[in-house]
Structure 1
Amino acid sequence: MSSMTGMALQKRLVVCAVAVSALLLVYILCVNLEGPLSLPVMPLSFSQVLRSDSQNSGEPLDRQINSDQRTHPPPASTRTVPHEHTRATHTPTLKTQTSTAAGHKPAENNVLDVSKSSSRSDAVDKAKTRTSTKGPTMQPRRPTQAPGPTEPPFIGDTYMSDNVPPQTDCPDGIRSRVAKTDFGGRFLKNIPVLQWANHTTREQHQRLSKYPGAHGWGGIDYKTLVETLSVLNSSANWRMLDDWKNRSNGSECIRCAVVGNGGILKDSKKGKEIDGHDYVFRTNGAIIKGFEQDVGSRTTHYTFSTNTLMNSMRSYAGAGYKGPPLSEETRYIFLPDHDRDYLLMKAAATHTPVERGNERGKDPSKYFGKDVSARKLKMYHPDFIRYLRNRFLRSKALKTKYKDIYRPSTGATMLLAALHTCDQVSAYGFMTPDYKNYSDHYYDRSYHSVGFFINHDLRMEMTLWQQLHQAGLIQLYMHK
């Protein structure tokens, strides 16, 4: 009898153990079902995005050089601070341009998604932009999706974003075509090309002070920055093609000629063709007198840094370079390498001598004429220069001790600025694969080979021009 009672007790214990195990299993399953069902999404590195954009084409030089660089932009803050020099309705915006895992939209599309938060249609935006002199509409910040390990701090692939709708309805403009090319994932339509008074806030100064030279505001104190950029306070300063409304003549598209100083232009007979464009961009030692048949005579936009301007006046005086072109239609675009650019620009706008630095006491009218006014002055935004370096011209130099001085050449900055502001771009006098057949400049009296320096990567730039030409985004002049 006792043995039968023991067996019954054993059976009850087994049944209870099975029941408890089953309940425990059900509990575990319920807890797991409360969590996400999808697998975690890992972000792609910057270099992976570039490679995926060009699987069906030859790998451009800048991507080959940097194929081993794995960088991830840091997340942007979600805090917004009103501008200190504008209406409270404007807030500075930082947008981190990153790509997420395969199947997600590339960086360029993420920018467009944010811009859709506006309640106005694109058509209304365009019409309003053509008649308004208000500043660009700035968008709220947006945090990075699925941030990965941080990139090298000097890269800073995070930029301010200005909502500046296009000035035309060009049916076949660069902005509409770029998304269909290998450059679509790199091209940011809302990147601020120019800086102006409303960009100067303490928050932006703190952010950009991390980057030296042309890539930020490193070394420039906040007081100097505010005093300098305060003179750039109109639509003529933040819009590259500020007089398009007066010169459009009903044209649907803005046609720009960007003229470098390369020897390939000698005996080209391209002068009339160049002058036939709506706008003509030139840079540095742009000697026109005596070379009109080859390079044209008009200059609407002249790009330079104070350093390149002074060097050009010294180096090319014997060839006939006296200073920047002077005309009613000419705008002067500073590429700010140092505080001396801000100081010279302020002096030019206020018709006063340069207050300090290398050019202390110099009269800016010597360079820009006595009739220069603030509306004819512009200055590239450091975010734009850094963006060009990071996404179009990421050179091996960034892995060397010279990384702080490396930047796109002045001519490259000018050409890529036109790419971001014009509908159609024709490039003349830029380096081509047969560059050894031509002298360094079209005005050289004897042959001089092209010089290469560590602060620019001219061979990479040459490859980029070929890529843009093949993609149909620019028309590059080349000898047949």
Structure 2
Amino acid sequence: MTGRLPSRLVLWFIGLLCVALLTLFLVCMTTQNQVPWQVMSLQNFRFFSDKNNSISLKNQPSAENELDTELGQNSLQKSDVQNSLRKSESGNEAKSDQANSITISLKPVAKPTETDFFGDWYATDDFPSQTNCPNNIRKRVPQTQFAEMFLHNIPVLQWAKHFSPEEYQRLSHFSGAHGWGSVRAEVLNSSLAILNRTANQMMFDDWENRADRSDCVRCAVVGNGGILNGSRKGKEIDEHHYVFRVNGAALTGFENDVGSRTSFYTFSTNTMRNSINSYAHLGYRGPPISKETRYIFLPDHDRDYILMKAASTHTAIDQGPERSKKPPTYFGEDVTVEKFKIYHPDFIRYLRNRFLHSNLLKTSARGIYRPSTGAVMLLAAIHTCDQVDAYGFMTPDYTLYSDHYYDKQRHEVHFYANHDMRMEMRLWQELHKAGLINLFMRR
């Protein structure tokens, strides 16, 4: 018995070895043609894993520290990007080629560099000038200190042609008014697709048909500053080809000082609603409504695109804070899509980066800072009009006037963390001295 034990152990060991080798062979056969574990294909998306589960967009600059906007709107989620881009191909399934794909990388999000945060690169728009004005602003810029910062082919307005998966990837890096990072691709594509008329593409869409057309487009840009109270500039303002107004532009009872016409009303959904709530006691009920009035959204959030689409198609708002059972009537019940325009986010970021690069960008307010709505309006006029007269903007003697021209009691000028009004005031002075605008001042 004891002499046979070693041979039995040897045979038992050989048997186990054979079973192990057979098992290994079968495993190799079943896994020979599988995709390596690092890459898993899911239509337009490829996911790369490592031990960190942070999400960043591959093939574009790293995301900002704060993707949430001023009102805490939604940041991009992996599933949102996937589902939205599937629907952004005009109802067809998203293409699978890499040129139109978004890659999501499961890697730590690097702290953005200054270049990544500011994104001083922009789309171009070779839209021809609508006039042959011999001495327009664009021709005077090269002789001023603004020559290096001024871009002549920056798109001021966005419309249907500007949406594409590639552009969505690029602009999703920037949040708030500076990009598309706070807007789902599905919302953006369906809203911009409506802006496909000639009137949505150009600022002065009725210029060719105007009876008072001349060699140069003359614009009055009217802020709401208290300096206009008692100014009696109303008639002078209304004599311009176009009159720009902003936010709580209360006109009734103030026509002698600020005029009565409104060609362009600049606003965001947030600033418009705040104006309606704040100035209801003055009889202000919303944006001015007239045959000539066009409405220019400054899109801070997805709610701006949603409101524009609902108003222009006369449909109810089915999502967001403005959700309604009936179509919105802010702009009149018979408003058409030709009445709407939207500033391009590249234009807003360009203004922040080059004209109003505030010290607030070095503070904790950097994530919410942007040029004021009035500043965007005035700088948009400088980039489109031939001649600009600015009224109601802050001047160095602002302490002598109330905050707004329509204040029933005197109020000091308010300053907010998301704007740098003093820097804007200095910019208006510099533009005035350079001869690019004519700024109304009392002293």
Q: TM-score, normalised by structure 2?
A: 0.74
Q: What letter is aligned with 2:128?
A: P
- Greater shift, 151-160 or 342-351, is seen at 151-160
Distance 1:191 1:204 in 2: 15
C-alpha change, 1:220 and 1:365, in structure 2 (3 Å) is: closer
Match of 1:469 among 428, 432, 436: 432
Contact 1:169 1:253 in 2 (8 A): yes
Which amino acid in structure 1 is aligned with residue 312 of structure 2?
A
1:374 aligns with 2:346: no
How many Å separate the matches in 1 of 2:162 and 2:139? 27
Q: Share of identical aligned residues, percent?
A: 65
Deviation at 1:365, TM superposition (A): 4.1
Query: For 1:286, which of 233, 249, 260 is the aligned residue?
Result: 249
Structure 1 residue 152: Cα displacement:
3.5
What RMSD in Å do the two structures reach over aligned CA positions? 1.5
Distance 1:366 1:443 in 2: 24
Whether 1:172 aligns to 2:109 is no
Distance (Å, rounded) in 2 between the aligned partners of 1:187 and 1:217: 23
Q: How far apart are 1:248 and its partner, in Å?
A: 5.6
| Residues 223, 241 of structure 1: alpha-carbon distance in 2 compared, 3 angstrom cutoff | same
Distance 1:454 1:312 in 2: 18
1:396 equivalent in alignment to 2:363: no
Cα distance in structure 2, aligned partners of 1:467 and 1:298: 28
Trace 1:24-39 onto structure 2 (pairs within 5 A). Answer: none
| Equivalent residue number for residue 110 of structure 1 | none
Supply the distance in 2 between the matched residues of 1:398 and 1:208 (Cα, whole angstroms).
Answer: 19
Aligned to 1:20: none
Whether 1:350 aligns to 2:313 is yes
1:236 aligns with 199
Work out whether 1:264 is the aligned partner of 2:205: no
- Report if the CA contact (8 A) 1:365-1:372 is conserved: no
1:204 has 2:167 as partner: yes
Equivalent-residue separation in structure 2 for 1:362 and 1:456 (angstroms): 35
Structure 1 unpaired stretches of 5+: 1-82, 86-148
Which of 405, 411, 427 is the aligned partner of 2:368? Answer: 405
| AA at the equivalent of 2:255 | E
Pair 1:277 & 2:240 matched = yes
Partner of residue 384, structure 1? 347
Matching residue of 2:293:
330
The alignment status of 1:156 with 2:119, answered yes or no, reads yes
**Alignment coverage as a number of residue pairs:** 335
Instruction: Report the Cα offset of residue 219 of structure 1.
Output: 2.4
For 2:12, the equivalent position in structure 1 comes to: none
- In structure 1, how many angstroms separate the alpha carbons of the residues matched to 2:155 and 2:191? 18
Alignment partners' CA distance in 2, 1:150 and 1:402: 17
For 2:212 and 2:225, the matched residues in 1 are separated by 32
Residues 134-154 of structure 1 deviation map (CA, whole Å, 9 limit, x = unaligned) = xxxxxxxxxxxxxxx964311
Q: Distance in 2 between matches of 1:174 and 1:356?
A: 42
Structure 1: distance between partners of 2:401 and 2:329: 33
2:419 is aligned with 1:456: yes
Mapped to 1, the partners of 2:357 and 2:327 lie a distance apart of: 35
- In the TM superposition, residue 161 of structure 1 has moved relative to its aligned partner by 0.1
Question: How do residues 121-136 of structure 1 correspond to structure 2 at under 5 angstroms?
Answer: none
1:187 Cα deviation from its structure 2 partner: 0.7
Q: Kindly tell me: are residues 314 and 250 of structure 1, through their superposed partners in 2, closer, same or farther at Cα, counting changes over 3 Å?
A: closer
The C-alpha deviation readout for 1:305-361, integer Å capped at 9, x for no partner, is: 000001000011112211000000000000000000010000011101112000011
Q: Residues 207 and 288 (structure 1 numbering): CA distance in 2 closer, same or farther, change over 3 Å?
A: same
Q: Equivalents in 1 of 2:292, 2:244: separation in Å?
A: 11
**Aligned mates of 1:440, 1:221 — CA distance in 2:** 37
Q: Which moved more, 1:400-409 or 1:291-300?
A: 400-409
C-alpha displacement of 1:366: 2.3
- Cα offset for 1:372? 0.7
Corresponding residue number in structure 2 for 1:296: 259
Q: Is the contact made by 2:310 and 2:328 (CA closer than 8 Å) also made in structure 1?
A: no
Say if 2:212 and 2:241, in contact at 8 Å, map to a contact too: no
CA contact (8 A) 1:344 1:364 kept: no
One-letter code aligned to 1:478: M
Cα pair distance change 1:363/1:410, threshold 3 Å? farther
AA aligned to 1:370 is E
**Change beyond 3 A, Cα 1:413–1:425:** same
- Kept after mapping to 2: 8 A contact 1:214/1:337: yes
Match of 2:152 among 174, 182, 189: 189
Partner Cα separation in structure 1 for residue 283 and residue 374 of structure 2: 20
Q: Which runs of 5+ in 2 are unaligned?
A: 1-87, 91-111
Q: Secondary structure at the match of 2:291?
A: coil
CA distance in 1, matches of 2:352, 2:200: 23
1 CA distance for matches of 2:223 and 2:123?
29
Aligned to 2:61: none
